[in-house]
Amino acid sequence: MTNLYHKDIYKFDEPIKSYWESTINTNVKYKSLEKNIKTNIVVIGGGYTGISCALSLAKNFDEDVVLLEAGHIGWGSSARNAGFCCIPPAKMSVKKMFNKFGKIETKKFFKNTIEGSNFTKNLITEYKIDCDLTGNCNYEVAPHPSYFNSIKEEANLYKTEFGIETEVFSKKEFNEIGHMGEEQFGAFSYKPGFAINPLKFLLGLAKQAEISGVKIFQKSKVNKIEKNSGKFNVISNGQIITANKIVMATNGFYQDDLFPQLNNMILPVISNIIITRPLSKSELDSHNFITRNPVLNIRNLLFYYRLLSDNRFLFGARGDVVGSEQSSIIKSKKMEKQMKKVFPNWKDVKIDYNWRGLVAVTTKFTPSIGKLDEDEIYYSFGYQANGVNTAPWSGNELAKLIVSNSKELKISKFYQGLPKKFPFPKLRLFYLRLYLMYCSIIDK
Ligand SMILES: Cc1cc2nc3c(=O)[nH]c(=O)nc-3n(C[C@H](O)[C@H](O)[C@H](O)COP(=O)(O)OP(=O)(O)OC[C@H]3O[C@@H](n4cnc5c(N)ncnc54)[C@H](O)[C@@H]3O)c2cc1C
């Protein structure tokens, strides 16, 4: 196993000290694997992808499913993210999408990504998951006057090409309905868009999976998978699960250690979040911070923020490239400075929480859902930091693929198939450093 980052980031035994962890009842307990089992399908990874897939397999298709999670249920990125449900799960401009995939396929992709947002929302409604759902649109904010035209163009493209409801606001208009600040030079909104407490959503989903018959085991890291007489032996905690099919739902935390076919395809990128103490009314008024909708500042090295129900301010950005606890603290301090530069009237506000996690970027720059050609091994990963929108929906699409006879996904090609492996994969962090340097030069 070759980890790109410091071992601190893979401490599966320790809960991350996130704000979300402080909002839940910590008595939620699942067993760890302690005996050999036989099943039809083993799902590896207990985030949105794995749990949604397992839930759908058990509930909709009556399948026998075991789910294994290395940490506790609520350890991975699905429990650490900012809870923004945004679109689209791709790191490329619409113009590039048109050139690469054509207009028709791009339209299908946008249709699917809207379905993704609605799928997440519907799960919350159907299972009555109390996860502090807030907001009725997403905002994208121009960090400099020169970005305002591109904001208008994007809003127009969304509306005319994909039928998405958008609205453009000048700086003055957004001062009134959104917020003021040093990097607000107009904005646009799109629907659907909302935000959630990601951990409460995950635990709600896991509960439904368990009710539907999924056998969930936490603190059960899969160390090895062997093939024996056409079946898989999945080894975890020294026990063996014998299964016919495997679902890989490990996303950014995959350690290039289980299947050679899937190794070296992900560039895990650290993403950090800081959260302030609750802000007073006068502090909020000082920047006229009114909106509870998620906001994205569209710099190349983008950052995002939103106001939580207890008036704490959440601020997120890309993280460091080392991965140690120490480097995370240093990064959080830098983010605090950046946040206070954008919202200078909050310069004395204390930060109560900081944490980080991994998002999965691939050479495709779009998600990858499918099945390995020669094996009953299914995968879904690489949401390019848009998992709230994409991962539950993808898990469900994967479940349909697993039970189908045709083995064909009925979704846009943007999502289908594996990405190319990174050339010289040990250099992945070097490529990331170069990219970050390039972005910071452009942003300046
Ligand atoms: C700080 C941060 C902020 C983010 N903000 C947003 C946001 O606002 N909106 C958005 O849409 N997306 C956001 N994302 C991305 C989003 O969280 C992910 O895309 C999404 O959670 C992926 O879900 P998943 O189930 O595929 O992966 P995960 O939730 O990461 O689950 C994978 C699981 O696999 C487990 N695992 C790994 N290896 C093994 C093994 N060998 N055996 C057993 N289990 C294993 C891990 O422990 C992990 O729990 C953010 C991510 C981070 C880190």
Q: What is the CATH number of the domain that holds 233?
A: 3.50.50.60
CA distances from 229 to 41, 100, 260, 377 (A): 16, 42, 20, 16
Q: What is the pLDDT of residues 400-430, one digit of tens each?
A: 999 998 889 999 999 999 999 999 999 999 9
161 located within any domain: no
Q: Is the CB of 20 under 6 A from ligand 1?
A: no
- From CA 280, how far away is CA 311, in angstroms rounded? 8
Task: State the pLDDT at residue 420.
Answer: 97
44 located within any domain: yes
Please tell me the distance between residue 177's alpha carbon and the centre of ligand 1 in angstroms. 32
Task: State the pLDDT at residue 106.
Answer: 98
Checking if the pLDDT of 317 tops 90, the result is yes
Please tell me the distance between residue 343's alpha carbon and the centre of ligand 1 in angstroms. 29
Residue 1: pLDDT band (50, 70, 90) is low
173 located within any domain: no
Comparing CA positions, the residue from 126, 168, 164, 176 lying closest to residue 149 is 168
125 located within any domain: no
Please tell me the distance between residue 408's alpha carbon and the centre of ligand 1 in angstroms. 25
Model-level pTM? Answer: 0.97
Please report the atom of ligand 1 found closest to the CA of residue 386. Answer: 11
Question: Domain of 235?
Answer: 7-81+199-266+363-426
Pocket test for ligand 1, best of 20, 69, 72, 77 (most atoms within 8 A of CB): 77
Which helix (H) or strand (E) element contains residue 103? helix 103-126
**Mean pLDDT value across residues 344-371:** 97
130 located within any domain: no
Please say whether the beta carbons of 196 and 20 come within 8 A.
no
Q: Is the CB of 382 under 6 A from ligand 1?
A: no
371 located within any domain: yes
Q: How many domains does the chain have?
A: 1
Q: Is the CB of 369 under 6 A from ligand 1?
A: no
Q: Is the CB of 75 under 6 A from ligand 1?
A: yes
Q: Is the CB of 168 under 6 A from ligand 1?
A: no
Task: State the pLDDT at residue 3.
Answer: 83
**Mean pLDDT value across residues 347-371:** 97
Question: pLDDT averaged over the chain?
Answer: 95
344 located within any domain: no
Percent of the chain, pLDDT > 70? 100
Pocket test for ligand 1, best of 5, 239, 250 (most atoms within 8 A of CB): 250
Residue 227: pLDDT band (50, 70, 90) is very high
Q: Is the CB of 204 under 6 A from ligand 1?
A: no
Residue nearest to atom 49 of ligand 1 (CA): 76
Q: In the 8-state DSSP scheme, what is residue 8? A: G
Residue 26: pLDDT band (50, 70, 90) is confident
Residue 100: pLDDT band (50, 70, 90) is very high
**Mean pLDDT value across residues 260-270:** 95
Please say whether the beta carbons of 138 and 190 come within 8 A.
yes
149 located within any domain: no
Q: What is the pLDDT of residues 180-197, one digit of tens each?
A: 999 999 999 999 999 999
Report the DSSP pairing between strands 222-228 and 231-236.
antiparallel
Task: State the pLDDT at residue 443.
Answer: 72
